[in-house]
């Protein structure tokens, strides 16, 4: 990333900043290197529940005051939980940025988890679970995690289970935070119309005052991946399918070539091989995509689509056919050039989104201990050869290495 500023506070919290004067907005967030994979077996869903409860009261504010603090000046306050991260962030006019930093630091460090609010939020999360179950295109992605990472915390649903959510008490949140919060694995990221001097002042005022905290637990590394084929009957109109396997971790040098390969196969472009070969040629699907997600110690490749039950086997066969072509036929120089240009354009557009840029900077620091500039990434993409793509496709995408999960409609 070009032109960013960085410092580490005495308590270990990292601060990263990028000034953009062409906007009146500022995006600020606190990203913690804690996620659902850090839960014990009796804590499933606790990280996500904590994200919800952060808005329900602190030692200084009640829920209403938290929710209305930025709303009243047109700002947005939000949060998310992933397998390895929790983030609290805000977007607001530059005039009110101190309000935003005050709030996100307060909910990160000072939540009090009122018992009445815990009871209310249980219902909200149970409704969220029901909503996902009623959306098979979402549910199959969560269920496929369990197929790929069977028996490991990465395979657990971020939402947890109904029984686990019903059982959480205030002491469970306090223990989870005590065991997992580490100020040296925390980043305050801020992007927008704000000077480095002002960003430092806000960091000193709201973050440097926090007591240093050290994580007392260690993540369980993922073990051996075993391919599985699973069929599930569901009350749906369409059949849904997931095909995939374990892939490279975030530190692997082959990550970028494999990301490029995945983009060629089923990226967001309408000209992806899966879209052209299955939707445009046959009209079998409305949407089909390939994704690659890398974690600190492993990764996951997956293809997802929905189709009519009678066309499911044909679609699966066509997906395997496209994968086999990537493994057996080297890309020509023109094809490779177009593929590189496509992915560079996508990355450049992503960097134009300042809110996403703010989150990306924080995540890069936590995962890689550095922030790569777009120029550096483009240089690496330029160096990718057709042989590199052939190598990673044959290393990862062997037919007998692919897992398969299908949702089969119960109704005719």
pLDDT tens by residue, 184-208 = 999 999 999 999 999 999 999 999 9
CB 358 within 8 A of CB 29: yes
Sign of the dihedral through C-alpha 62, 200, 347, 21: positive
Distance from C-alpha of 47 to C-alpha of 84, rounded to nearest angstrom: 10
Q: Between 79 and 412, name the one with better pLDDT.
A: 79
Residue 32: pLDDT band with limits 50, 70, 90: very high
Strand order of the β-sheet with 229-234 is 229-234, 403-409, 239-247, 299-307, 288-294
- β-partners of residue 26 are 92, 192
**CATH domain 229-409 topology:** Cytochrome Bc1 Complex; Chain A, domain 1 (3.30.830)
Express each pLDDT in 366-383 by its tens digit.
Answer: 999 999 888 999 999 999
In Å, how far from its chain's centre is CA 316?
26
Mean pLDDT of 253-271: 96
Q: How far is CA 148 from the centre of its chain?
A: 17
Mean pLDDT of 273-285: 96
Pair 10, 157: CB distance under 8 Å: no
Residue 14: its H or E element? strand 14-19
CATH of 4-208, one of 3.40.309.10, 3.40.630.40, 3.60.10.10, 3.30.830.10: 3.30.830.10
- 226-237: per-residue pLDDT in tens? 999 999 999 999
Three-state secondary structure call for residue 130: helix
Q: Could you tell me if 302 and 242 are in contact, meaning their C-beta atoms sit under 8 angstroms apart?
A: yes
254 — phi, psi (to 5°)? -90, 0
DSSP-derived 3-state class of residue 88: strand
Q: Domain extents for the chain? A: 4-208, 229-409
Give the pLDDT score at 217: 86
User: What count of other Cβ atoms lies within 10 Å of the Cβ of residue 16?
Assistant: 22
Say whether pLDDT at 2 is over 60.
no
60-66 mean pLDDT: 95
- Give percent of the chain above pLDDT 70: 99
CB 354 within 8 A of CB 24: no
Helices assigned H by DSSP within 24-161: 46-53, 63-71, 97-109, 115-133, 136-148
> What's the token pair of residue 294?
């890398």
Segment 384-407 shows an average pLDDT of 97
Longest dimension (CA), the chain: 65
For the chain, what is the mean pLDDT? 96
- Residues 147/228, Cβ–Cβ less than 8 Å: yes
* pLDDT given for residue 412 in this prediction: 55
Return the pLDDT at 408. 97
pLDDT in tens, 148-170: 999 999 999 999 999 999 999 99
Report the candidate in 403, 33, 408 with the shortest Cα–Cα distance to residue 246. 403
> What average pLDDT does the segment 119-133 reach?
93
Q: Which single residue is written with the structure tokens 């996403």?
A: 356
**CA 163 vs CA 56, 122, 174, 236: distances in Å:** 22, 11, 19, 25
Give the pLDDT mean for 86-98. Answer: 98
Confidence grade of residue 134 (pLDDT, cut at 50, 70, 90): confident
Mean pLDDT of 130-136: 89
pTM of the model: 0.94
pLDDT on residue 216: 84
- For the beta carbon of residue 313, count every other beta carbon within 10 angstroms: 13
Per the document, the length of the chain is 412
- Per-residue tokens: 302: 């997956």
- Is the pLDDT confidence value at 411 over 80? no
pLDDT above 90 covers a percentage of the chain that reads: 95
């Amino acid at each position: 990333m070009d032109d960013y500023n960085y410092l580490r506070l005495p308590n270990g919290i990292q601060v990263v900043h990028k000034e953009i004067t062409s906007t009146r907005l500022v995006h600020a967030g606190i990203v913690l290197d804690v996620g659902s994979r850090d839960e014990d077996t009796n804590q499933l869903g606790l990280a996500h529940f904590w994200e919800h409860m952060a808005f329900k009261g602190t030692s200084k504010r009640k829920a209403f005051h938290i929710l209305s603090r930025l709303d009243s000046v047109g700002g947005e306050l939000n949060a998310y939980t992933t397998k390895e991260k929790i983030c609290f962030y805000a977007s607001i006019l530059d005039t009110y940025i101190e309000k935003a930093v005050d709030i996100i630091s307060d909910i990160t460090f000072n939540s009090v988890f009122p018992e009445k609010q815990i009871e209310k939020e249980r219902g909200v999360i149970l409704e969220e679970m029901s909503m996902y179950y009623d959306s098979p295109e979402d549910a199959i992605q969560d269920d496929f995690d369990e197929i790929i990472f069977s028996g490991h915390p990465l395979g657990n649903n971020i939402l947890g289970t109904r029984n686990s959510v019903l059982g959480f008490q205030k002491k469970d949140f306090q223990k989870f935070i005590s065991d997992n919060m580490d100020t040296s694995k925390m980043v305050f990221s801020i992007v927008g119309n704000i000077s480095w001097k002002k960003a430092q002042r806000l960091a000193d005022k709201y973050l440097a005052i926090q007591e240093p905290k050290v994580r007392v637990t260690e993540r369980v590394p993922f073990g051996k991946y075993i391919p599985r084929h699973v069929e599930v009957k569901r009350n749906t109109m369409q059949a849904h399918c997931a095909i995939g396997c374990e892939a490279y971790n975030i530190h692997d040098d082959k990550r970028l070539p494999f990301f490029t390969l995945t983009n060629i196969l089923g990226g967001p472009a309408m000209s992806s091989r899966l879209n052209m070969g299955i939707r445009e040629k046959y009209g079998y699907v409305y949407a089909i995509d390939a994704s690659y997600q890398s974690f600190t110690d492993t990764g996951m490749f997956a293809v997802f689509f929905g189709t009519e039950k009678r066309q499911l086997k044909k679609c699966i066969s066509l997906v395997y056919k496209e994968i086999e072509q990537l493994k057996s036929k080297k890309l020509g120089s023109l094809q490779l050039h177009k593929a590189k240009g496509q992915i560079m354009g996508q990355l450049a557009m992503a960097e134009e989104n300042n809110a996403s840029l703010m989150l990306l900077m924080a995540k890069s620091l936590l995962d890689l201990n550095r922030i790569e500039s777009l120029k550096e990434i483009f240089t690496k993409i330029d160096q990718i050869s057709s042989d590199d793509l052939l190598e990673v496709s044959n290393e990862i995408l062997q037919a007998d290495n692919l897992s398969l999960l299908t949702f089969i409609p119960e109704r005719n």
